[in-house]
Structure 1
Amino acid sequence: MEQSNQVVWITGASSGLGRGMALEYASQSATVAVSARRMDLLEEVVEEIEAKGGKAKAYHCDVMSSQSIEDCVDKIIQDFGKLDVAIANAGNGVMGKIEELTEADWKRQFAVNVTGLALTCKFALPHLRKTKGRLALIGSVAAYIPNPGTSPYGASKSAVHNIGESLQMELKGSGVSCTIIHPGMVESNITRVDNEGNFHPGRQDPRPAKLMWTTKKASEVMVKAIERRKKVFIFTGHGKFIVFLAKYFPSLGRMIKEKMSPR
């Protein structure tokens, strides 16, 4: 679908789904503003987009800082004059049993996945209102199920879902849509980032490779859902199945989760 007049901002766009969505939007002729903390990785994304004839620009943004988010949005507006799509994608995953987790672990998880996401919305919305644009929040099927060993992550994604549904009510009549996206297992670097936010490129992903979608395939369906202004979009096949069990057969879902979870 041609999106040549759209300006799209994606947080956490240096890798994974953020990078994938940036490439997908650029392939549809949108102008893409990519942001993250790692400018070197963002510049690689921009170079890849420009090599294919697309338009993109990199912006430093640390979603743990309100000022950083506000400054990023201001620079995007200065450069492009408007904002049509904002995707709150930046996130991380804190791992560990509840008895082992520290106060700092919990604070970091919610600072990035919840507060950072909410503030991304806050600073993007005045500009999206002007264009009757699209807002997207990236959650996870973990929002619907127990998450032994990664409970901060699941709790944060449950909060994302609630924020999204609240925004849908607050934005009614404004022309701005809010799409909550809950992916199942998709190729990403989330399991290679430790609880302090440090990246370990050699760390093995413990998730079953056979169940994971490619980033490209996931990005294509996510962009389509945002364009169609869907309220809630759940994907992969196993992701839909997990949510179905959680809603209608919770005991069975818990039993399956217990067997899959590491001891």
Structure 2
Amino acid sequence: MARVLITGASRGIGKGTATALQAQGHQVIATARDVSMLDGLPVARKVQLDVTDQASVDQALAEAGPVDVLLSNAGATVRAPIETIPLDALSGLFELNVFGALRVAQGVLPQMRERGTGQLIFMSSVLGRLVIPLIGAYSASKHALEAIAETLAVETRPFGVSVHVVQPPAVSSGGAERAEVHLDDSNPYRPLLDRLGPFRAAPVSVEEVAGVVATAIAEGDKAPFRIPVGESATTILRARKAAPDDAPFLAAPLEW
């Protein structure tokens, strides 16, 4: 069994995965910006961690001690057209989804390299490989995260560290409902918002995502680098791979 540090464990995918892994016998270190939101979570340890703050990361990793597996899950999304998204909102999204994930990975990698073993699992999305209108900023952050993860996979392999990205489609975790929205009724792109339903059809459950993470940990360095969650994710990503690169790709029809 492994010592698994999970970022963003206060709700949704992080909370569900922490619970599932602990029940399977792993020693889970659950982290959150507000550690009080971890109350009642049945894990080995709870640590305050803000991935956007280097001092917080350093303190949390010192408290956590040795880590066999990092599940980098902390993240958020934004709804806004690329033309009108406030740049500070885009910057904040990258700070959390990209730099925050890298900040924690940089913190745990030295100990993994010294031991000659370890596993980094990044929570990405099918949107790490394609885009959806009004969710392009989130897609951009996941594209960047996957590029970083793929580079890490190559760079750290000689040191015994394996790297993986988990790619769920829409998840019934409440994350979409908590999205920051920059799109009022006067925005010319507002009609698109009401036409995004097909993209969130048949979401996978938190339990399904947790199961994929558990399997990746069990398989260790034999697990694939990119791991879609569910048949819909597999189908979407297969279609994206087969599509020509000389035109934008839509996973579902969109008219407005």
| Superimposed CA distance per residue, residues 174-223 of structure 1 (whole angstroms, 9 cap, x where no aligned partner) | 11111111111222121132439xxxxxxxx9677751122112201222
Q: Is the 8 A contact 1:245 1:253 kept in 2?
A: no
Partner of 1:109: 93
> For 1:30-45, what aligned pairs fall within 5 Å after superposition?
30-45=26-41
Unaligned runs of 5+ in 2: 182-195
**In structure 2, distance between residues paired with 1:7 and 1:117:** 18
Kept in 2: contact 1:85–1:128 (CA 8 A): no
User: What's 2:21 paired with?
Assistant: 25
How many angstroms apart in 2 are the aligned matches of 1:87 and 1:129? 17
Match of 2:165 in 1: 180
Quote how far apart the aligned CAs of 1:69 are: 1.1
Number of residue pairs the alignment of both structures matches: 237
Distance in 2 (alpha carbons) for counterparts of 1:116 and 1:97: 24
Q: Would you say 1:170 and 2:161 are equivalent positions?
A: no
**How many angstroms does 1:256 deviate by?**
4.4
Question: Does structure 1 residue 59 correspond to structure 2 residue 43?
Answer: no
Please tell me whether the aligned partners of residues 123 and 167 of structure 2 are also in contact (alpha carbons under 8 angstroms). Answer: yes
Change (3 A) 1:177 1:125: same
Q: CA deviation at 1:57?
A: 1.4
Whether 2:240 is the aligned partner of 1:246: answer yes
Q: Which has the higher helix share?
A: 1
The one-letter amino acid of 1:233's match is: I
Aligned to 1:225: 216
TM-score of the two chains, using structure 1 as the length reference: 0.83
Correspondences of 1:117-128 after superposition (within 5 Å): 117-128=101-112
Q: What TM-score do you get using the length of structure 2 for normalisation?
A: 0.85
The answer as to 2:200 corresponding to 1:214 is: no
Three-state SS of the structure 2 residue aligned to 1:213 is coil
Unpaired segments ≥5 residues, structure 1: 50-54, 197-204
Aligned to 2:165, what secondary structure does the other structure show?
A: strand
Quote the residue 2:113 is aligned against: 129
State how far apart, in whole Å, the 2-side matches of 1:207 and 1:58 are. Answer: 38
Q: What's 1:16 paired with?
A: 12
Whichever residue aligns with residue 114 of structure 1, its letter is V
- Whether the 8 Å CA contact 1:135–1:177 is kept in 2: the answer is yes
Q: What SS class does the counterpart of residue 107 from structure 2 fall into?
A: helix
Deviation track 1:132-178 (CA, whole Å, cap 9, x = no partner) reads 12111111100111221011100010011111110011112211111
Q: Distance in 2 between matches of 1:208 and 1:141?
A: 11
Q: Alpha carbons of 1:245 and 1:207: their partners in 2 closer, same or farther (altered >3 Å)? A: closer
CA-based RMSD? 2.2
Instruction: Specify the SS of the correspondent of 1:190.
Output: coil
What is the DSSP-based 3-state SS (H/G/I as helix, E as strand, rest coil) of the residue aligned with 2:159? coil
Partner of 1:202: none
- DSSP 3-state at the match of 2:78: coil
